[in-house]
A and B are shown apart, each in its own frame.
Chain A
């Protein structure tokens, strides 16, 4: 009955029906079973009527395996996959409003350029910066801007996609274990 208790961050993606209450059902399942969700991003997918969700979940192999199975069990969830070990493109968007003045503006612009981030709003005493990237990159920019005074920040949560030709969500298979997590269509 040996099992890995090593907690790590997993990236899961899911295709779900775009219906009222689906987000509640997903969120409620996480809450009720005590799963630890680090981020969740939802939006339209390439298929009409279907939404795409990206989850970042903390847990050991066993726990995340349960998350995948429990998600798959929800009637409105069409496909779910743990893509952590795949070759991914993963991006998050953050908006950071930082305090500026004549003295600091130049330095902030330099940092923003270094990160290939964008300045999307400039005021006399503040600036809104938009950055897209992986979590580490956003964390790094945040750390560099913090000394100037961050007024507010928001992050969208990670969205992720498997690189290459294949759709990361194929046939309800858990990519990591190769085990079918739902098996056979009804």
Chain B
């Protein structure tokens, strides 16, 4: 049967196993919506702003491991998705963005709502394409999903002119194969290099595993933990890799880097071998490169060849799929105990207990997260925005399952938390999803609470409300002579009333003894809930290795050091 381009898009989405898309219609993409109504197996979630469509698709993808799909119209619809697409690119998230384009004859004429979307998204997509023939629609969608989900995942944008969606019909033939002669990705790594890596690991006295997002993407968490346990190697995770190993695992040191655990950073400083797994030695992780792990050799395993030797010069670089490479490597690893090394790290942890929250009568944001994670027992999914609350969540939330901490790491997108949590909840309705926000980021995307309400996405929205852009405020305090320009809010809305306006429950918490009760009530209440935690306004974020510096310049919470 002959189908329109729009119908072929829908058929192709079904072939790719898509059951939900996030989007917002407009003129150029409307033919696709016209077809969607005939495909009830594809659930469409109508967002309030296209950036939420991209960010929800991101959250959905990370929570489920499936490709997240977002849809927008030409021009402003597509450009509104740009931030969400860029975030997915930086964090290697499998996403397909479908945008309508003005009709083919109008392309290049500066037509109404025309933007060169493939041009705009060129450097922030893994790949993009403009489909100029209805006969190419099925192949393009098939190729897009293949590229998005394989190798190092990333966003792929498919731009389709209106008259390709709704013009000439053609026979729908689902392509057997992809048509991508230049696309390849690695599987196993060369045996000789695996052996060289194993030799370094077996020889190391003070090794550390640095486990990144790739461990989650590749489903390599069990093998990674097995490697750590077999050779008794402590594990440090990146921000995006946090949930790859149980928080209460005895070898887990938590996150390192700019706001990572002090003892984790100090351990890296003394390590003689860094085993980087599915991570990219980002500047937030390394600080000043020349002073990063100065005593260590480096093994780096990544599926993206261009990441190996990009920031850190490796002694052994392994390009391959992490799960396959760890499978090759494990039989070559000798059992070890590293008693002295682990004991030394225990001592560092006692001397620099940055995992603890200091005693205070005031409502500390760290305290809120500590109680919240106690109530959830580390189950369910935590989605954060960007800033102090994000770092405190990374420091104090506990995780028991993979893919349960979702945050905008690479791009650092404020406002990510509300739509990404919505997407995560749509993908995982069976688990509790907490969106943890600051009052700044929350106001960037809170319009999409309506989307959560409308679609019965039962997200619990926590706001750590300090009436300011907290991280900016702290940077101004430390490095801009306390010139607090443009970082304090004088007229924040009443977030409990915001909740009520959306027809959901709002709870305000101002004191420590209200925290646990509020969290429990939020979880027992059906539907989305907003909990507005009015926290200590000028609480500093520690530890802190200022940008471009090293562990030697690390600032720690003075109160915490005294109390230990």
Given A24-B119, A28-B123, A32-B123: A75 and B310 within 8 A (CB)? no
B426 CB to closest chain A CB (Å) equals 29
Q: Select one of B118, B123, B150, B184 contacting A182, CB under 8 A.
A: B184
Q: Are B186 and A184 closer than 8 Å at their CB atoms? A: yes
Residue of B nearest to A80 (CB): B182
Could you tell me which residues of chain A, from 1 to 27, have a CB within 8 Å of some CB in chain B? 1-3, 16-17, 20-21, 24-25
Asked if residues B147 and A24 are in contact (CB atoms below 8 Å), the reply is: no
**In the assembled complex, how far is the CB of residue A30 from the closest CB belonging to chain B, in whole angstroms?**
11
Q: Is the CB of A73 within 8 A of B186?
A: no
What A residues does B68 contact at CB under 8 A? none
Out of A29, A76, A180, A183, name the residue touching B182 (CB < 8 Å): A76
Residue numbers in B under 8 Å from A3 (CB-CB): 313
Asked whether any CB of chain A lies closer than 8 Å to the CB of B320, the reply is: yes
Question: Could you say which of A32, A73, A184 contacts B304, with CB atoms under 8 Å apart?
Answer: A73
Q: Find out whether the CB atom of B181 lies under 8 angstroms from the CB atom of A180.
A: no
| Set of chain A residues within 8 Å of B126, measured between Cβ atoms | 75
B-facing mask of A160-186, CB < 8 A → 1, else 0?
000000000000100000001111111
Instruction: Tell whether, in the assembled complex, residue B320 and residue A78 are in contact, meaning their CB atoms are under 8 Å apart.
Output: no
**Nearest neighbor of A73 in chain B, beta-carbon distance:** B306
Does B305 interact with chain A (Cβ within 8 Å)? yes
1/0 contact string of B117-146 vs chain A (CB within 8 Å): 011001100110010000000000000000
- A76 — which chain B residues lie within 8 A by C-beta? 182
Q: How far is the CA of A66 from the CA of B178 in the complex (A)?
A: 27
- The reply on A72 being an interface residue by CB < 8 A is yes
CB atoms of B312 and A183 under 8 A apart: no
User: CB-CB < 8 A to B187: which residues of A?
Assistant: 183-184
Q: Is A74 an interface residue (CB 8 A)?
A: yes
Asked if B319 contacts A180 (CB within 8 A), the reply is yes
CA of A54 to CA of B190, assembled, Å: 29
Whether B181 contacts A72 by the Cβ 8 Å rule is no
A105 at the interface (CB under 8 A from B): no
CB distance from B118 to the nearest CB of A (A): 7
Question: In the assembly, what is the distance between CA of A76 and CA of B118, in Å?
Answer: 15
CB closest residue in chain B, given A24: B122
CA distance A185 to B183 in the complex (A): 8
| Secondary structure call for the B interface | loop
User: Taking CB as reference atom, which chain B residue is nearest A32?
Assistant: B123
B486 at interface, CB cutoff 8 A: no
**A25, A62, A182 pick with most chain B CB within 10 angstroms:** A182
Q: Contact check, B306 vs A183: say whether CB atoms are below 8 A apart.
A: no
Are B122 and A184 in contact, CB atoms less than 8 angstroms apart? Answer: no
Q: Report yes or no: A70 in contact with B306, Cβ–Cβ below 8 A.
A: yes
Please, what's the 1-or-0 string for A37-76, where 1 marks a CB less than 8 Å from any CB in chain B? 0000000000000000000000000100110011011111
| Complex: A24 Cα to B178 Cα, angstroms | 23
Shortest distance from the beta carbon of B56 to any chain A beta carbon, whole Å:
26
CA distance A72 to B123 in the complex (A): 15
Residues 167-202 of B, flagged 1 when their CB comes within 8 A of A and 0 if not, give 000000000001011111111001000000000000
Rounded to whole Å, the gap between the CB of A28 and the closest CB of chain B is 6
The reply on A77 being an interface residue by CB < 8 A is yes
- Are the CB atoms of B305 and A78 closer together than 8 Å? no
CA distance in complex: A182, B189 (Å): 11
Q: How far is the CA of A101 from the CA of B304 in the complex (A)?
A: 60
> What interface size band does chain A fall in?
20 to 34
Question: What is the minimal beta-carbon distance from B32 to any residue of chain A, in angstroms?
Answer: 23
Is B270 part of the binding interface, using a Cβ–Cβ cutoff of 8 Å?
no
For residue B181, which residues in chain A have a CB less than 8 angstroms away from its CB?
17, 78
**Cα separation A20 to B107 with both chains bound (whole Å):** 14
Residues of chain B with a CB closer than 8 A to A172's CB: 184
Q: Which residues of B contact A17 (CB under 8 A)?
A: 181-182
- List B contacts of A20 (CB < 8 A): 130
Please name the residue on chain A nearest to B193 by beta carbon: A179
Docked-complex contact B305 and A183, CB < 8 angstroms:
yes
Query: How far is B124's CA from A28's CA once the two chains are assembled, in angstroms?
Result: 11
Q: Are A21 and B182 interface neighbours, CB within 8 A?
A: no
A106 to B183, CA, bound (A): 56
Residues of B contacting A66 with CB < 8 Å?
306, 309-310
List residues of chain A with CB within 8 A of the CB of B306.
66, 69-70, 72-73
| A182:B313 contact, CB within 8 angstroms | no
Q: Are B185 and A21 in contact (CB under 8 A)?
A: no
User: Does B183 contact A183, Cβ atoms closer than 8 Å?
Assistant: no
Q: Are B122 and A72 in contact (CB under 8 A)?
A: no
A20 to B118 Cα, complex, angstroms: 11
Contact with A along B305-325 (1 / 0, CB 8 A): 110011011000001100000
Shortest Cβ distance from B185 into A: residue? A186
A60 to B41, CA, bound (A): 54
Q: A62 — nearest CB in chain B belongs to which residue?
A: B309
Complex Cα–Cα for A184 and B127 (A): 20
Most central of A16, A21, A29, A181 by chain B CB within 10 Å: A21
Instruction: Check B182 against A78 for contact (C-beta < 8 Å).
Output: yes
Closest to B188 in A: A184
In the complex, what residues of B have CB within 8 A of residue A77's CB? 182
Closest to A79 in B: B182
Interface pairs (21), CB distance under 8 Å: A21-B118, A25-B122, A28-B122, A62-B309, A66-B310, A72-B306, A73-B306, A75-B126, A75-B127, A75-B147, A75-B180, A76-B182, A183-B185, A183-B187, A183-B319, A183-B320, A184-B186, A186-B150, A186-B178, A186-B183, A186-B185
Which 10 A-B pairs give the minimum distances between C-beta atoms? A69-B306, A183-B186, A78-B182, A1-B313, A75-B127, A186-B184, A69-B305, A185-B184, A75-B183, A77-B182
Q: Interface residues, chain B, CB within 8 Å of chain A?
A: 118-119, 122-123, 126-127, 130, 147, 150-151, 178, 180-187, 190, 290, 298, 304-306, 309-310, 312-313, 319-320
Q: A1-B290, A3-B313, A78-B181 are in contact. List 14 more A-B contacts (CB 8 A).
A: A1-B313, A21-B118, A29-B123, A62-B309, A62-B313, A66-B306, A66-B310, A72-B305, A73-B305, A75-B127, A75-B180, A77-B182, A182-B305, A184-B187
